[in-house]
Amino acid sequence: MAQKRIGSGAEAVIFLEQGKDEPRIIKDRMPKTYRHPLLDAELRRTRTRREANILKKLDTLHVPGPKLLGTDRESVIEMGFIDGTPLKRLLDDEPEWAGAVGEGLARLHDAGIIHGDLTTSNMLVKDGTLFFIDFGLSNVSHGAEEKAVDIHLFRQALESKHHAVSDKASRAFVKGYRKSKHAQNVLDRLEVVERRGRNKGKY
């Protein structure tokens, strides 16, 4: 089967594999030579297992995302390929998509799933549906602080990459996120997180 490298990041290298069946994504957490080998192996194993477990839960949460096809539980995850358009290419013309981001994140947060890297590059739109991708930095927590930081990262992405529509998109996001049963508590905490960030910039 032919593999084509289509991306890489701090965590892993991403390949698109074309075979007899549907194309699939292969995500491989490569060893990091700057870490102690035993620590490196444990980190890659732990993060791979965590990501695989979260991908398994997406369907039951009604959150569109990559379908888990398999994992070696050590460093490799195989996922279904989503042939969609990155949200970052659409949001400036259609800021209302941020409402779907809010709704999806509300479901994730209510299940205790923190995405960890919530940017418009990590969402795809296909056939009118928003898909969340790249759960490589995700973790599990029911804390308002962690959820607020998740939202803060998204709002930072809006301001830096989609400044012209950031206010409209942020309002649409909050409207969608209010479907979370813990929305007000998290949004109150978000004010604290953002205030802390502004104060840090003064020194």
Composition of the chain by helix, strand, coil, percent to 5: 45, 20, 35
Sign of dihedral through CA atoms 44, 50, 54, 55?
positive
**Catalytic one among 59, 93, 110, 117?**
117
**SS3 assignment, position 110:** helix
Asked if 117 is an active-site residue, the reply is yes
Nearest Cα neighbor of 189 from 141, 149, 132, 158 is 149
79: β partners: 25, 68
Residue 131 token pair:
């898909």
Residues known to be catalytic = 117
